[in-house]
Amino acid sequence: MKLNISDTFNSQLPSDPNTENTRRKVFEAMYSYVKPKVPSNPQLIHYSLEMVKAIGLDGNDTDSQDFLKVFSGSNVCPETKPYAMAYAGHQFGSWAGQLGDGRAINLFEVEHNQKRWALQLKGAGETPYSRQGDGLAVLRSSIREYLCSEAMFHLGVPTTRALSLVISGDEVLRDMLYDGNAAYETGAIVCRVAPTFIRFGNFELFAARQDYKNLKELTDYTLKYFYPELGKPSKDSYIKLFQEVAHRTLEMIIHWQRIGFVHGVMNTDNMSILGLTIDYGPYGWLEGFDFGWTPNTTDRQNKRYRYGNQPNIGLWNLLQLANALYPLVEESDPFETILKQYQTDFESKSLKMMRSKLGLIIEDKKDVHLMTDLEDCLLLSETDMTIFFRLLSGYKKGDAETGLKKVEKAFYNPTEISDAVAEQWKVWFRSYDQRLRRETLTDQERQAHMNSVNPKYVLRNYMAQLAIDEADKGNYDLIDELFNLLKKPYDEQPEYQKWFAKRPEWARHKVGCSMLSCSS
Ligand code: AMP
Ligand code: MG
């Protein structure tokens, strides 16, 4: 196994001089050296061939002992120095102070095809940032992260990627529902991959401590390696950096809204400086369309991270990043302008996104009403978001009176479709039909457009759970099936039609399907 190792983060930025693996506060350093825990009996369960190739390896390498050893944490590659990153963050709206990679260990960076990739093991043991945790991850949450991050990529959403899924051979104690019923679960390790794993929280850590030297160094490093087009370090390029991060964050969240993805824990330590979806924990997919839905039981009371609030939280998180970068600029106006722009852009971009979901090309300001009326209809009875939009693409101009028939498979409980409900839908279909008449696309062309933004297949909460249940019995076939299915989420794939189905009733209130906690 030959990798083109090209470390920058741990070769150019200050390290914690203390190399012991003890939990502590770390000052004036961006990371601490730490070795992964050696797993007792590692087993490679799955890998992403695309990512294997992206980092410069080929399929044969995955059969090697080397591959297993490096990506399970058994062996450290020669001349590399694994480390855990230091960061802070705001969690659920409150300042949480130092957090850091408590269960993630960065192995190294590679360069391949002019791309830089950082490789990180999640669940490879404790680090100086583990606080009260054990640094480990369980199989269920590792399967969820592994499958979802690759699925998100293929849905066209900016995201960290996954290289491999390994079972460690060790048992991990978890209180899944925080109700005092802890149990041993299978331990696992995901190797995840991104150009960098720097988060908003890395900047917040130094700003909070008024360590402006390191704040500047981190920002300059970020500019140099990940935003070189913004120019050399200066007040101007720092502002541009913030502008670009705001832009990317909004783009990412608009994608989430388009496909019905709810992150679940949008704390600032889970916000990537590259605008990537990061840290797949208690995330979920909207089944019934509902702005108020969150899969995260830890957030059940306030629902801070509910579907409809994600764009606002993006803004709130960007404000924290602005506060962190402010000492480098010492002017608040540019930050305020960018944050205001986020709000205007949000309006126009979500309208544009909704237009695309409805197959509308012409821009009309009045479309807002069509969208809000549709949202009202979707809330009349429990309506599966993914199925609704996919079926809507089959609508034919002039069919307003029977439009509802086309989408009725999206309704969870057809008996809820009373005459009054059906009438409200009919009214909406009439205005949709009128609006479509102003478009020039044929029904067929519109369908193709719509099917390229409305996925047929997403990683429904129960699907991941089925793969987990099978894996717990030692059968990993379903992981492979879902992995392959989700490589082409916009394609019809008739052989996988069974996955184009509403959540089954058994999954409605099942732990792991609709209820997830941060305990992973
Ligand atoms: P999360 O909300 O999962 O992104 O985690 C928030 C913080 O808790 C991060 O600093 C994580 O590294 C840390 N953390 C989460 N789970 C564990 C664990 N099992 N052991 C150590 N640290 C953890
Ligand atoms: Mg996190």
What tens-digit pLDDT sequence spans the chain (520 residues)? 999 999 999 999 999 999 999 999 999 999 999 999 999 999 999 999 999 999 999 999 999 999 999 999 999 999 999 999 999 999 999 999 999 999 999 999 999 999 999 999 999 999 999 999 999 999 999 999 999 999 999 999 999 999 999 999 999 999 887 888 899 999 999 999 999 999 999 999 999 999 999 999 999 999 999 999 999 999 999 999 999 999 999 999 999 999 999 999 999 999 999 999 999 999 999 999 999 999 998 898 999 999 999 999 999 999 999 999 999 999 999 999 999 999 999 999 999 999 999 999 999 989 999 999 999 999 999 999 999 999 999 999 999 999 999 999 999 999 999 999 999 999 999 999 999 999 999 999 999 999 999 999 999 999 999 999 999 999 999 999 999 999 999 999 999 999 999 999 999 888 888 778 776 6
CA separation for the pair 409, 72 (Å, rounded): 44
Residue 199, strand partner residues: 272
In this structure, the strands spanning 94-98 and 43-47 are unpaired
- H or E stretch including 406? helix 403-407
CB 308 within 8 A of CB 289: no
| 211 pocket-lining for ligand 1 (C-beta < 6 Å) | no
- H or E stretch including 136? none
- H or E stretch including 170? strand 161-174
Residue 193, strand partner residues: 119, 161
Q: Per residue in 35-47, is it b (16+ CB within 10 Å) or e — as a string? A: bbbebeebeebbb
Q: Which amino acid is present at 364?
A: D
pLDDT at 515: 78
Phi, psi of 191 (to 5 degrees): -95, 115
CA separation for the pair 273, 255 (Å, rounded): 17
E strands, 20-144, in order:
31-33, 43-47, 83-85, 88-91, 94-98, 104-112, 115-122, 137-138
Long-range Cβ contacts of 229-236 (<8 Å, 24+ apart) = 235/328, 235/329, 235/330, 235/331
**H-assigned helices in 96-234:** 139-154, 200-208, 212-226
Q: Which ligand is nearest to the CA of 272?
A: 2
pLDDT at 509: 85
CB 9 within 8 A of CB 196: yes
Give the distance, in angstroms, between the CA of residue 299 and the centroid of all CA atoms in the same chain: 17
Count the alpha carbons within 13 Å of 278 in the hemisphere toward its beta carbon. Answer: 25
How many whole angstroms from 308 Cα to the centroid of ligand 2?
Answer: 21
25, 85, 131, best to mutate for ligand 1 pocket (most atoms within 8 Å of CB): 131
Show the tokens assigned to 515: 């209820």
| 353 pocket-lining for ligand 1 (C-beta < 6 Å) | no
pLDDT at 519: 65
Question: Residue 402 carries which DSSP code?
Answer: G
Q: Which residue has the tokens 């392959």?
A: 484
How many whole angstroms from 518 Cα to the centroid of ligand 2?
Answer: 10
The torsion of the CA quartet 492, 503, 512, 285, rounded to 10 degrees, works out to: 60
CB 55 within 8 A of CB 117: yes
| Strand, coil or helix: 374 | helix
Residue 516 has a CB neighbour count (10 Å cut-off) of 28
CB 199 within 8 A of CB 89: yes
CA separation for the pair 471, 400 (Å, rounded): 46
Phi, psi of 134 (to 5 degrees): -105, 0
pLDDT at 382: 97
| 270 pocket-lining for ligand 1 (C-beta < 6 Å) | yes
Show the tokens assigned to 125: 């043991």
| Strand, coil or helix: 58 | coil
CA separation for the pair 219, 213 (Å, rounded): 10
| 102 pocket-lining for ligand 1 (C-beta < 6 Å) | yes
Show the tokens assigned to 274: 């590259």
Give the residue among 214, 245, 1 at the shortest CA–CA distance from 108: 1
In this structure, the strands spanning 284-285 and 261-262 are antiparallel
How many whole angstroms from 268 Cα to the centroid of ligand 2?
Answer: 9
Q: Which ligand is nearest to the CA of 519?
A: 1
Q: Which residue has the tokens 């992964």?
A: 36
CA separation for the pair 467, 115 (Å, rounded): 32
Residue 301 has a CB neighbour count (10 Å cut-off) of 8
CB 339 within 8 A of CB 315: yes
- H or E stretch including 483? helix 477-485
Give the distance, in angstroms, between the CA of residue 219 and the centroid of all CA atoms in the same chain: 23
Question: Residue 229 carries which DSSP code?
Answer: G
How many whole angstroms from 66 Cα to the centroid of ligand 2?
Answer: 28
Give the residue among 244, 238, 235, 296 at the shortest CA–CA distance from 267: 296
Annotated catalytic, 269? yes
| 145 pocket-lining for ligand 1 (C-beta < 6 Å) | no
pLDDT at 7: 98
How many whole angstroms from 18 Cα to the centroid of ligand 1?
Answer: 21
Q: Which residue has the tokens 């019923």?
A: 181
pLDDT at 308: 98
Which atom of ligand 1 approaches the CA of 269 most closely?
4
pTM: 0.97
CB 137 within 8 A of CB 144: no
| 134 pocket-lining for ligand 1 (C-beta < 6 Å) | yes
21, 24, 121, 130, best to mutate for ligand 1 pocket (most atoms within 8 Å of CB): 130
CB 482 within 8 A of CB 457: no
CA separation for the pair 507, 510 (Å, rounded): 5
| Strand, coil or helix: 181 | coil
